[in-house]
């Protein structure tokens, strides 16, 4: 059975959800079995109050920019429907969940329950107890590109956190997160069985048709025994089936 998780982040006007501060941005990334599906939820929100300078320096969202954005009540139903009953993953999750629950409480919605929340900061602190565990520090540790993160942004941070989360769970370097390998003998290497996990929806192609044809032309110069020719042949057979 597929495990659905929502990696999410919020940006706010401050630190106190019950003291007048509000959410100004929500970003969510859907994952199935720890693989991003491509489905996201992202919205900027009008906090119906001023933007403190300290908060603006963190995320760069001004009162003027947010003035024509929807208020939370206008998107609450869509947000609740998107997260549904999925496990929720956040970095320093108590902060984000407190703000989400404060917004939901104002509208009479049920709160997000603590048992469905995964805190990646807590995981990181257990795994790296004497190291810095900010999102930027974890990106550096695991070789994740965060160069676009010049300021905090909810959707970008959620996308980066999804990568960090997989690394915290053990990473994909050994099996790319696509197979489970069990050995019958822990001492000797024997024949292992693998179960391939299939994406629920294929990722959109990133190559243009011109790039694909240029690559085929290049492979053609390598000769009939080139390894790439095998991959191209397999890909064409799958496309034709």
Rounded (10°) CA dihedral 40, 117, 93, 74? 50
Question: Which of 34, 42, 152, 215 is the catalytic position?
Answer: 152
Lowest-confidence region among 25-34, 71-80, 119-128, 201-210: 201-210
Q: Report the percentage of the chain scoring pLDDT > 70.
A: 80
Spacing of C-alpha 49 from chain mean position:
29
Highest mean pLDDT: which range of 49-63, 206-220, 226-240: 49-63
Contact 194, 181 (CB under 8 A): yes
* Catalytic annotation present for 152: yes
Residues 6 or more apart in contact with residue 33 via CB below 8 angstroms? 2, 3, 197
Of 230 and 163, which is predicted with more confidence? 163
Residue 217's pLDDT band (boundaries 50, 70, 90)?
confident
At residue 138, the pLDDT reads 96
pTM exceeds cut of 0.85 = no
Beta bridge partners of 5: 31, 87
Alpha-carbon gap, residue 7 to 16, rounded angstroms: 22
Domains along the chain? 4-168 (3.30.420.10), 209-240 (no CATH)
For residue range 74-86, what is the model confidence (pLDDT) as tens digits? 999 999 999 999 9
Q: Report the percentage of the chain scoring pLDDT > 90.
A: 66
Q: Would you say the C-alpha torsion 229, 197, 170, 117 has a positive or negative sign?
A: positive
Specify the residue for token string 């294929």: 202
Mean pLDDT of 170-185: 48
At residue 128, the pLDDT reads 96
Q: Identify which of 181, 156, 208 has the alpha carbon closest to the alpha carbon of residue 9.
A: 156
């Amino acid at each position: 059975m597929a495990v659905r998780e929502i990696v999410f982040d919020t940006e706010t006007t401050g630190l106190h959800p019950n003291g007048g501060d509000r959410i100004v941005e929500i970003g969510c990334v859907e994952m199935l079995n720890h693989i991003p599906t491509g489905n996201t939820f992202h919205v900027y929100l009008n906090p119906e109050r001023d933007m403190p300078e300290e908060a603006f320096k963190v995320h760069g969202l001004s009162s003027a920019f947010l003035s024509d954005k929807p208020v939370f009540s206008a998107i609450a139903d869509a947000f609740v429907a998107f997260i549904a009953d999925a496990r929720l993953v956040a970095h320093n999750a108590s902060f984000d969940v407190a703000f989400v629950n404060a917004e939901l409480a104002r509208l009479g919605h049920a709160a997000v329950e603590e048992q469905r929340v995964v805190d990646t900061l807590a995981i990181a602190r257990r795994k790296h107890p004497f190291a810095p565990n900010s999102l930027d520090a974890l990106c550096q540790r695991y070789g994740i590109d965060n160069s676009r993160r010049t300021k905090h942004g909810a959707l970008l941070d959620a996308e980066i956190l999804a990568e960090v989360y997989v690394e915290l769970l053990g990473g994909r370097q050994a099996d790319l997160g696509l197979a489970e390998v069990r050995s019958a003998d822990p001492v000797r290497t024997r024949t292992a069985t693998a179960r391939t996990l299939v994406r629920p929806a294929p990722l959109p192609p990133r190559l243009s048709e011109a790039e694909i044809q240029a690559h085929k032309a290049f492979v053609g110069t390598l000769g009939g025994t080139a390894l790439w020719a095998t991959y191209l042949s397999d890909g064409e057979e799958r496309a034709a089936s």
